[in-house]
Structure 1
Amino acid sequence: MTYDWRLRRAASADASAVAMVAAASFLETFAGILPGSDIVAHCARNSSPEKFAGWAGDPATVVTIAEHPVGEAPVGYSVLTSPDLPIDVLPGDIELRRIYTLSVARGTGLGHRLMALALADAAALGAKRVLLGVLGTNVRARTFYEREGFVLAGTRRFNVGAGWYDDVIYARDL
């Protein structure tokens, strides 16, 4: 089914809604893959309303919220911000730190629309290249990023709760 998803730049007032969809989408994505206690700790540390309010108030960061056309419930989001990755970051680089949708939106084209808007926002900010990190074993996400034109650019160890995981880093020139 195709929906007319509503995508808009999130404001500080949207921080609780984005935090909720962030925690829910992280849980949906990694339940059965990562320990539950690590997921809960990671979301408490990295997906709080305060974290999203800070990003929403930062002029160098773009937080996009995707809302369902019926009732405008939050169902996805993305975050573009300054890179924090263990590779040579070049002038003009920006990191797509987060891009998630809830399962209700899978297969509807929302992920592609969020990505297209993130790439357009990155270009509008003057970025020349978009970077992102993803769990190396997350085949679904990796396939999506490769379909969107991203190529491997490095690796990192990423902390989630008490665990450390192997991520790959992707890059895409704009």
Structure 2
Amino acid sequence: MLIRRAGPGDAQTLSRIAARTFTDTFGHLYPPQDLQAFLDESYSLQACKQVLADEACAVWLLEADGVAVGHALAGPCTLPHAEVAPGDGELKRLYVLRDHQGGGWGGRLLDTALQWLERDGPRTLWIGVWSENHGAQRLYARLGFELAGTYDFIVGNIRDHEFILRRKA
């Protein structure tokens, strides 16, 4: 297994792994047409090219034998919370395919993203997490993240209740 920083040439790979991991993790929650519209908007080749071209963001791919099995995305915080300040960072995505979970690589991927977010020193970090994802909430709590608010994550006609977690600098 290998974690590597994604570059502009990885847009197709990012598009595929992002859509697959989101679908594997949350696809059962949405009507097929809502899920497909979300994937087409959020994880399209064009959307992935834009993310990879954004110098304020960073993406990492987790690979097994050269094949992407997970990814992480970090950058400036865009969560809808009144206390988000310029310079705050956000872990925007962290996904690993089920068959590759449990070996510690998700934690390494998380550590990589958090270290990058704090590469210039401590700063306030944010994470949005589904209210029913108790395992992720426990993990983030162990890392010092606390509940700071809530918002709705919209996929088509479905509104998921999300928690906004924050770790102050």
TM-score, length basis structure 2? 0.91
Match among 142, 150, 157 for residue 145 of structure 2: 150
Runs of 4+ with >6 A deviation? none
* Contact 1:92/1:127, CA 8 A, preserved across alignment: no
Structure 1 residues 17 and 125, CA, compared in 2 at 3 Å: closer, same or farther?
farther
Structure 1 residues 173 and 94, CA, compared in 2 at 3 Å: closer, same or farther?
same
> Partner of 2:72: helix, strand, or coil?
strand
Q: Deviations over 1:27-85 (max 9, x none)?
A: 111133333322222111101121121111111111111111xx210011111122211
* Contact 1:60/1:125, CA 8 A, preserved across alignment: no
CA distance in 1, matches of 2:162, 2:27: 17
* Contact 2:61/2:71, CA 8 A, preserved across alignment: yes
Asked if 1:79 is matched to 2:73, the reply is: yes
Q: Deviations over 1:12-40 (max 9, x none)?
A: 11011111111111111113333332222
CA distance in 2, matches of 1:113, 1:43: 26
* Contact 2:60/2:72, CA 8 A, preserved across alignment: yes
Asked if 1:94 is matched to 2:89, the reply is: yes
CA distance in 1, matches of 2:19, 2:115: 25
Residue 36 of structure 2 corresponds to 40
Q: What is the aligned-residue identity percentage?
A: 33
Q: CA deviation at 1:147?
A: 3.2
CA distance in 2, matches of 1:116, 1:62: 13
CA distance in 2, matches of 1:125, 1:56: 21
Residue 20 of structure 2 corresponds to 24
TM-score, length basis structure 1? 0.89
Asked if 1:121 is matched to 2:123, the reply is: no
Q: CA deviation at 1:117?
A: 0.3
* Contact 2:12/2:45, CA 8 A, preserved across alignment: yes
Matched positions, count: 168
